[in-house]
Structures are given as structure tokens and as C-alpha cells.
Homo-oligomer: A and B are copies of this chain.
Amino acid sequence: MARRAAGRRPGDSGTREAILAAARARFTEQGFRETTMRSVAAAADVDPALVHHFFGSKEGLFATAMAFPFNPADMVAGLLAQGVDGLGERLVRTLLVTFARLGPANPMIALLRSAVGHPPAAQMLREFLTGAVLDPVASAVRADRPRLRAELCASQVVGILVAREVVELPELRAADTATLVAAYGPTLQRYLTADL
């Protein structure tokens, strides 16, 4: 076993960021409970105790790792600023593009996977959805029952994620962006503006 000498490494090791990157990938792939500190440490080529040293606990690591590399609330606000016309389509397209950009370190997938069987993560997910998406969307809607409409949209969006990432339905995974936008955009638009 390539045993490394104890003690601080020379230079700017960047170890903390390596741990975070590894943690994001594992959390995205397996969720909170299935991800072990030891596996994160191994992926970052580091002693498990170091992870604890930096982040205090597994919960602390999770909380830190779940930060987005951008501000989702701003993104939603930008979409809403263009009005309700075509909003459904813009939401879907933005979602897909963002996912492609995030790649293997995707906080939304990580939260979704973690929410199952780990109540604090479910809470985080609910708060994120409510504060960054549902509330702004609901207050932009000019129709009755705006909150229900926002939640209807959320249910379809969550369904896209779970169907593609968890259940891994093949044709949904293979479909290109244009097809998905054409399929889902009108659905969201209807939830936002049509008669219920």
C-alpha cells in the first residue's frame, strides 16, 4: 500500500476542493445514506479523518457540497422577467441545459436521491423548491390557484428527473432537447395558464 507520510502536504494541495468534488459526485450518484465518508475520502485520495476535520460531520459535508455553483433563484427570476408567455418552454429548456452543464455533480439529483429515507435532505429539497422556484413562479402566475399550478409544474419536472436519472427510461434518456422541450413545454404552460 502506498502509504503517505503524515502531516501537511507541501504547496497548495487543493485537497478541500477535491473532497468537495468527490462528495458531490458520490451524493449525486448515490444519495446521502449510501454515500460513505470512507468512499468520499478514497475518491479524493485522502484519509477519512480529514473529511471530518474539514467539515465536522457527514451532515456538514452534505450541506457544504449541496451549494449550487450558481444562484438558482436568479435564474428563475430571469425566466420570469420575460413574462408568462412561453414560460413553460423556457423552464424546460433551461432545466435541460443546466443539467447538461452540471454533469456528474448535480445538487438537484443529489437532493432528490437523498430525500428518500433521509428527512433532513427532504426538508432541504422542499425549502429549495419552495423558495427558489415555487414561490416566485406562483407569484408570477396570473390565474386562479397559482400555488397549485406551480406544484403541478414541479411534479412534471421532478418526474422528468426521476424517470431519466433514477428509473432510467431509455427513450427519455435518448431523446434530444428539442423533442423534450416540444413534449413538456406545453404541459407546463397549460398548468400555468389554462383552465383547470
Segment among A17-25, A63-71, A186-194 that sits at the interface with chain B: A186-194
- Chain B residues contacting A160 (CB-CB under 8 Å) are 155, 159
Chain B nearest Cβ from A136, distance in angstroms:
15
Complex-state Cα separation, A29 to B65, whole angstroms: 26
Besides A155-B163, A186-B190, 14 other CB < 8 A contacts?
A31-B117, A33-B33, A33-B34, A116-B166, A122-B167, A145-B171, A151-B172, A152-B184, A154-B167, A155-B156, A155-B169, A157-B159, A182-B196, A183-B196
> What are the interface flags for A22-42 relative to B under an 8 Å C-beta threshold, 1 for contact and 0 otherwise?
000000001101100000000
The reply on A168 being an interface residue by CB < 8 A is yes
The reply on A162 being an interface residue by CB < 8 A is yes
- On whether A116 and B159 interact (CB within 8 A), knowing A175-B148, A183-B196, A187-B187, the answer reads no
Partner of A117, one of B113, B148, B164, B187: B113
The reply on A75 being an interface residue by CB < 8 A is no
- Chain B residues contacting A30 (CB-CB under 8 Å) are 117
17 pairs across A/B with beta carbons < 8 Å?
A: A115-B166, A122-B166, A125-B167, A126-B167, A134-B169, A148-B172, A151-B163, A151-B169, A151-B171, A154-B163, A155-B156, A155-B172, A156-B159, A158-B162, A159-B159, A159-B163, A186-B190
Q: Which 9 A-B pairs have the closest CB atoms?
A: A159-B159, A155-B163, A34-B117, A155-B159, A148-B171, A151-B169, A116-B116, A151-B172, A158-B159
Contact present for A129 and B167 (CB under 8 Å)? yes
- A interface vs B, CB < 8 Å? 30-31, 33-34, 112-113, 115-118, 122, 125-126, 129, 134, 145, 147-148, 151-152, 154-160, 162-164, 166-172, 175, 179, 182-184, 186-187, 190-191, 196
Complex-state Cα separation, A187 to B179, whole angstroms: 16
